[in-house]
Chains A and B, each alone.
Chain A
Amino acid sequence: MEQWHKTGCVLCAQNCGLEILVKDGRMTKVRPDKDNPRSKGYACRKGLNVIFHQYPKDRVTQPLKRIGDRFEPVSWDQAVGEIAAKIKNLVGTHGPRSIAYMGASAQGGHFEAAFGLTLLRALGSQNFYSSAGQEFSGSWWVLGRMLGKQYNVAVPDEHHAEMLVGWGWNGMESHQMPRAPIVLREFSKDENRLLVVIDPRKSETAAIADIHLPVRPGADALLLKAMIAIILDEGWEKKEYLSRFVDGFEKIKSWFEGFDARAAIAFCQLDYDQVYDLCRLMTTRRWCMHPDLGIYMGWRSTLSCYLMNILGAVCGIFGVRGGNIIPGMVMPMGFHADERDPNVWRTVATHMPPAAAGSFPPAVMPEEILTDHPERLRAVYVSACNPLRAYPDTTAYEKAFSKLDLLVVNEIVMSETARLAHYVLPCRTYYECWDGTFFPWTYPEVFFQMRRPIVKPPGQCLEAAQIFTLIADKLGIIPQFPEELKNAAAGDRMTFGAKLMEWGMAAPDALPKMPFVLAQTLGKAWDSANLAALWGMMMTAPKAFRKNAARAGFATGMDQGDRIFQAILDNPQGLWVGQADENNPMDGIKTPSGKIEVYIPEMEQEAKTIDAATEAKALNLPDGFPLILNAGRHTKYNANTLMRNPDWNKGKRACTVAMNPDDARSFKLTDGQPVRVTTAAGSRVGELEVSDQIRKGTVLIPHGFGLIYGDETYGINVNYLTKNSHRDPLGTPIHRFIPCRVEAA
């Protein structure tokens, strides 16, 4: 008995379409799915090896409770009852600020987030931490100010671009764009299009670029300022665009006047003429930009993001075909949380705003737990992520988590975080349940795929959404609903919808808890809270989504949502559920002025003052740390912490400490030898790789290793080397610029 199933990859945010062969109830083979309209038959070695993710050792199959230093299986009833009682007690005694939810960070499924957030809000807390806060706090905060909403991520419209500028982005290895290696190679080969890469090192992407600017590590903000200054000085800015679509340009113009761009570019260790030529190209070509962690996790993360967007505005690329456009969305990747609104919380010890569309940066969580503030964090609910490997400063996390009154972890496996939990609750994998993601990567089409269960979950595993529903129920959060609603769930969906609406109108308080109501009605009938939530989302989708859907062929009407839902079920390979209005690419901008607002007063001082002299001082390496560690090299051999079995990299040099040959020579180190890397956070030993791809003066270590697998641990957990306090003012860790030293071990 074997069958090929259409599904998708769950290991990165591209979610490439996959077909998986299930034989006798077990996944046995994987191939790319050419019917997926977004990935079109592309998949990388991660997805093709996803079976390693599906069947790890140490799978959790029943609720576990920590007793002393070991775990004991308990019933769902006991686990949920005890967790609910503890949450109730903590919130009652210390208030809702004592509780945090850390989730919504998975690359394979976003439905867990709807339930985790609903539960958190029902408890009266805003303490939401996610990977968005880990990477995009600065970027999304800037977008919130400039484009109106923190989730308004303007994506590159690369298919219409003449030039693609990747900044701090190694798409050949890390993707972050549908079919990235194929698109990048097309740019590289096409004589009429240009691939520009700005990256300190000769990465796999830089190697195929038409133009590579090997900027000095940490000097991105300075280079951006210099480029804007050159453009304005030459009068190359898009004047008509600025006057029509940009607000506040006059206020910022003077920041760049009289700026010594030559000195700045010399400090960046770049050739002035090359930068000058690129500035000309940027003001004469149709181009789009693709920043990545080199910017987000680089020195002056927020300022770099800000200046990059000013550069884009000056060149007139936002809301223009071939430029960067706010895409249509099924669901936004968060919500706008403007810290100037007094109702929006800040963290109590670090005073951090939830700048990443409502999410706080995980880098500050250890301090929020370890502080003696009366409203400190006392309980953390971690769902479908692994902060002990994914977030900075594992040592700080270990210490902080050991101080918690309650740590609950939803997991498929005994992860490093689960090992510290009071309760580990067993989840279904993404191939054992319905789930999907809302990453918006395409314009004008809007993509969605709901992956279906293709294998049975073992033991007592549930969807994280179902687990949250059990806890919410025990906490008495879910409103009482009539029995007939439950009965109607087994029948026709539209009839159920009518009954739900009828009840909802009479009980408006129930609305914010609707995911739980759906989970207990449709979700019971379908054994999937996720699928029930999807139906609810489609039925109550906002107007913008409905209009996009209408353009994609789903006629408007009462049952539009249900028809989209049915189409999603009928198209397991994924489909275009919407089509943005191509006639109005500025549509997504939601600022008060309706324009791109380039003046951010909080950034004025930093943007004005930064120059070659400030950076020479700021980037000076401390004594004893002559090298710069890039903690988180993207490679074909890492996939966050989702691939635990090291066999998927058998025969590969998957986790190394990579260094330039000149540095290796001067430190008298040779390829393959064990070396000790030391930073302010700690010290770890790994295998040295000597490579021309690495810039002199820098050291690269990939993330996602140091995972405990059975009795072995493969590779370095790089977060033993990252300090949680080494971060941008908005909380993004500066993983791309960590002073370090490397010695023979």
Chain B
Amino acid sequence: MTHEIYKKLCEHMGKRGGRYPGKDIPEFYALAEKLFTPEEAEVYVAIPKGYSPASAIAKEMGKDESQAIPVLETMANKGLCTSGSMGGIKFYGAPLFVPGIFEFQFMKGTKTQKDKELARLIHAYKQAVDAGQGPPKVTYPATRVIPIQRTISPENTIHTYHQVASYIEKYDPISVSTCFCRHEAKLMDESDDCGKPDDVCMQFGMGAQFIIDRKLGRKLTKDEAMDVLIKSEEAGLVHASINRQDIDFICNCCKCHCMIIKTALAQDKPGLTLNSGFKPVWNSDLCQACETCIDRCPAGALAMGSASVPEVDLNQCIGCGVCATGCRMPDGGHFTCGKKRHSTAAGRSKSITGCHQGEQGIVFYLTLSYIIIDCFVADAPRNDPIDRHCERR
């Protein structure tokens, strides 16, 4: 009987998909049994798609609401379901493994024996899934890179879509939690530490409220949130988020541990999979060839060119701007907005495309003294998957 419910959980999660869906392999069951009690597994399977009140979930199970609520509450505290309130009614949802349950497990940043055991089981499961299906082929970017906030000055005419800083203004509440990717690595092996800051995973709006309510992270003031962004930039972390206009999280990712960046960098041409729509351009009169940008580039997209000015490989570049924020020349870190101009696409490869909703044919030209962050060519072929995505939206 016990096994039956986990089998059911596996099938259910399998149908829901995601990077790591339910797979009928021993590693799934080892993990699922550690995460879910049989009762919780039963509740999880009963949660309809989207958000539902406890009554609806109880009904699905043929049980009473009062029986379901304590289980749902415990699950929410454990990060096995999500919850939020609207109009005084509490709703619950069933998150995927990734993004969702896995991340919630390590957001608190605790290092208990159970955390370590979970890290091991999650890792084993991910490995087994990856071994079975191979590294994911990204045909449609589910995530995107947001250029660092200083790349765009407040008075510019660029769509707020790209303004990380503007998200800070837009959303309330905002929370921060431990980077689950780096924390998971440290739970597995204490010495697996890249030295990047851990408390930089940000959530916005309803998602943030859930994190705060369930004590998976802490609430941030707007100023504190800006400090987290600045700290991340200084450390050379990439701001990454969901590829849609409204976001609910910003991951500040390192190349060595973070799933979003690692997945992208494992592709043949990560620059086509995950990018911000911007590219670096150096001012060769001012660049001092100190190679700080080359050292910082998480994608390994930069190399010193023959004229002692760095050159970018756009197949590799994700447009994160970590190069630019690291520029150590005087005022190098401060971007000023340049002029808006029409793209002629001259000298740029047509295969390099970016995604700028409603901005086709326009290049945004953001300059700082030393590195210019320039939009990718926008008049891309229509059959390009990234472009299709633009059309759809």
Interface residues, chain A, with chain B CB atoms under 8 Å away: 30-34, 41-45, 48, 172, 181-182, 185, 204, 207-208, 636, 651
State A33–B330 Cα separation when bound (angstroms).
7
Which residues of chain A are within 8 angstroms of B329 by Cβ–Cβ distance?
A: 31-32, 41
Complexed CA–CA distance, A41 and B307 (Å)? 20
- A651 engages B295 (CB within 8 Å): yes
A45 to B304, CA, bound (A): 13
* Docked-complex contact A208 and B307, CB < 8 angstroms: yes
Asked if B328 contacts A182 (CB within 8 A), the reply is no
Chain B residue at smallest Cβ distance from A31: B328
B292 sits at the interface (CB 8 A): yes
Q: Chain B contacts of A41 at CB under 8 A?
A: 329-330
The docked-state distance in angstroms from the alpha carbon of A204 to that of B289 is: 12
Bound Cα distance from A651 to B291, whole angstroms: 12
Partner of B307, one of A33, A44, A48, A207: A207
Shortest CB-to-CB span from A209 to chain B, Å, is: 12
Report the separation of the CA atoms of residues A570 and B19 in the bound assembly, to the nearest whole angstrom.
62
Q: How far is the CB of A226 from chain B (nearest CB, A)?
A: 31
- Once A32-B330, A204-B308 are accepted as A-B contacts, the answer to whether A43 and B288 lie under 8 Å apart by CB is yes
Is B306's beta carbon under 8 Å from chain A? yes
Asked if B25 is an interface residue, CB under 8 A from chain A, the answer is no
Assess whether B288 is in contact with A42, with CB atoms less than 8 Å apart.
yes
Within B323-365, the residues touching A (CB, 8 Å) are 328-330
Q: Is B245 an interface residue (CB 8 A)?
A: no
Contacting residue for A34 out of B307, B308, B330, CB 8 A: B330
Beta-carbon nearest neighbor of A45 in chain B: B290
B308's contact among A33, A48, A172, by CB below 8 Å, is which? Answer: A172
Complex A-B, nearest 6 residue pairs according to Cβ-Cβ distance, in ascending order: A34-B330, A45-B290, A41-B330, A45-B291, A31-B328, A48-B290
**Chain B residue with Cβ nearest A202:** B306
A48-B289 in contact given A207-B306, A651-B295 (Cβ < 8 Å) = no
Q: Is the CB of B330 within 8 A of A31?
A: yes
Q: A residues within 8 A CB of B295?
A: 651
Residue from A30, A34, A45, A207 with most neighbouring chain B CB atoms (10 Å): A45
> A207–B307 Cα gap in the complex (Å)?
8
- When distances are taken between beta carbons in the complex, the residues of chain A under 8 Å from B157 are none
Is B156's beta carbon under 8 Å from chain A?
Answer: no
Please name all residues of chain A whose beta carbon is closer than 8 Å to the beta carbon of B155 when the two chains form the complex.
Answer: none
How far is it, in angstroms, between the C-alpha of A185 and the C-alpha of B289 when the chains are bound?
12
Chain B nearest CB, measured from A730 CB (Å)? 34
When the two chains form their complex, are residues A32 and B289 in contact, meaning their CB atoms are under 8 A apart?
no
Residues on the A chain within 8 Å of B285, using CB: 182, 185
Chain A residues near B307 (CB-CB < 8 A):
185, 207-208
Contacts of B160 in A (CB 8 A): none
B284 at interface, CB cutoff 8 A: yes
Interface residue from A33, A185, A636 paired with B284 (Cβ < 8 Å): A185
In the complex, chain B residues whose CB is within 8 Å of the CB of A34? 330
Known: A31-B329, A182-B285. 13 other contacts (CB 8 A): A30-B328, A31-B330, A32-B288, A32-B329, A33-B330, A41-B329, A41-B330, A44-B290, A45-B289, A48-B328, A185-B307, A207-B306, A207-B307
Can you spell out 24 A-B residue pairs with CB atoms less than 8 angstroms apart?
A30-B328, A31-B328, A31-B329, A31-B330, A32-B328, A34-B330, A41-B329, A43-B288, A43-B328, A44-B288, A44-B289, A45-B292, A48-B290, A48-B292, A48-B328, A172-B308, A181-B289, A182-B285, A182-B288, A185-B285, A208-B307, A208-B308, A636-B289, A636-B291
A31 to B334, CA, bound (A): 14
CA distance A566 to B295 in the complex (A): 41
- Bound-state Cα–Cα, A181 to B306, Å: 13
* Minimal Cβ-Cβ distance residue in A for B284: A185
A22 to B328, CA, bound (A): 16
Residues of B within 8 A of A172 (CB): 308
Residues of A within 8 A of B292 (CB): 45, 48
Interface residues of B in 282-301 (CB under 8 A from A): 284-285, 288-292, 295
- Looking at the assembled complex, report how far the CB atom of B275 sits from the nearest CB atom of chain A, in whole angstroms: 23
In the complex, chain B residues whose CB is within 8 Å of the CB of A48: 290, 292, 328
Complex Cα spacing A44 to B304, Å: 14
- Count, A-B residue pairs, CB within 8 A: 44
Query: How distant is the Cα of A181 from the Cα of B309 in the complex, in angstroms?
Result: 11
In the complex, what residues of A have CB within 8 A of residue B288's CB? 32, 42-44, 181-182
Interface residues in chain B, defined as those with a beta carbon under 8 Å from any beta carbon in chain A:
284-285, 288-292, 295, 306-308, 328-330
What separation, in Å, do the CA atoms of A636 and B289 have in the docked complex? 9
CB A30 to nearest CB in B, in angstroms, measures 7
Q: Which residues of B contact A182 (CB under 8 A)?
A: 285, 288
CB distance from A566 to the nearest CB of B (A): 27
A208 to B284, CA, bound (A): 13
Q: What residues on B are CB-neighbors of A204 within 8 Å?
A: 308
Contacts of A208 in B (CB 8 A): 307-308
**Nearest-neighbor residue (CB-CB) of B309 within chain A:** A185
Closest Cβ–Cβ distance, residue A232 to chain B (whole Å): 38
Let me know if A43 and B290 touch, CB within 8 A: yes
Min distance, Cβ B322 to any Cβ of chain A, angstroms: 15
Q: Please report the C-alpha to C-alpha distance between residue A41 and residue B290 in the assembled complex, in whole angstroms.
A: 12
Q: In the docked arrangement, what's the CA distance between A43 and B332, Å?
A: 13
**In the complex, what residue of chain B is closest to A172 when comparing beta carbons?**
B308
- What is the distance, in angstroms, from A44's C-beta to the closest C-beta of chain B? 6
Across the interface, name the chain B residue whose C-beta is closest to A40. Answer: B330
Q: How far is the CB of B331 from chain A (nearest CB, A)?
A: 8
Report the bound CA distance from A181 to B284 in whole Å.
11
How close is B94's CB to chain A, nearest CB, in angstroms? 43
Query: How many Å lie between the Cα of A34 and that of B330 in the bound state?
Result: 7
Q: Which residues of chain A come closer than 8 Å to B330, judged between CB atoms? A: 31-34, 41
A27: min CB distance to chain B, Å: 14
- Chain A CB within 10 Å, residue with most, of B284, B285, B292, B295: B295
Bound CA–CA A96/B328 (angstroms): 51
Cα of A181 to Cα of B288 in the assembled complex, Å: 7
Q: Is the CB of B308 within 8 A of A181?
A: yes
Question: Given the complex of chains A and B, what is the CA–CA distance between A417 and B330 in angstroms?
Answer: 38
Give the distance in Å from the alpha carbon of A118 to the alpha carbon of B292 in the complex: 43
Chain A residues with Cβ below 8 Å from B308 are: 172, 181, 185, 204, 208
Q: Smallest CB–CB gap between A510 and chain B, Å?
A: 47
A172 to B306, alpha carbons, bound, how many Å? 11
Question: Bound complex: CA of A34 vs CA of B295, how far in Å?
Answer: 23
Q: Report the minimum CB–CB distance from B233 to chain A (whole Å).
A: 13
Closest A residue to B291 using CB positions = A45
Contacts of A636 in B (CB 8 A): 289, 291
Chain A residues whose CB sits within 8 angstroms of the CB of B306 once the complex forms: 207
The distance from the CB of B185 to the nearest CB of chain A, in whole angstroms, is 20
Measured in the bound complex, the distance between the Cα atoms of B329 and A30 in whole Å is 10
Specify the chain B residue showing the minimal Cβ separation from A47. B290
- Nearest residue (CB) in B for A19 is B330
Distance A702 CA – B285 CA, assembled complex (angstroms): 28
B150 shortest CB reach to chain A, Å: 16
In Å, the complex CA distance between A30 and B292 comes to: 11
A32 to B288, CA, bound (A): 10
Residue of B nearest to A189 (CB): B285
CA distance A48 to B307 in the complex (A): 21
* Cα distance A34–B285 in the bound complex, in angstroms: 16
Shortest Cβ distance from residue B199 to the other chain A in the assembled complex, whole angstroms: 19
| A332 to B328 Cα, complex, angstroms | 34
B residues near A181, Cβ cutoff 8 Å: 288-289, 308
Chain A residues with CB below 8 A from B291, complex form: 45, 636
Closest to A648 in B: B295
Provide the residues of chain B in CB contact with A207, threshold 8 Å: 306-307
What CA separation (Å) do A42 and B329 show in the bound complex? 8
* Complex Cα gap A448–B297 (Å): 37
Min C-beta distance of B235 to chain A, whole Å: 12
Query: What's the least CB distance linking B329 to chain A, in Å?
Result: 6
How far does the Cβ of B56 sit from chain A's closest Cβ, in whole Å? 54
State how many angstroms separate the Cβ of B369 from the closest Cβ of chain A.
10
Tell me how far the C-beta of A193 lies from the nearest C-beta in chain B, rounded to whole angstroms.
15
CA of A45 to CA of B307, assembled, Å: 16
Once bound together, how far apart are the Cα atoms of A32 and B284, in whole Å? 17
- What is the chain B residue whose CB lies nearest that of A41? B330
Q: Which residues of B contact A33 (CB under 8 A)?
A: 330
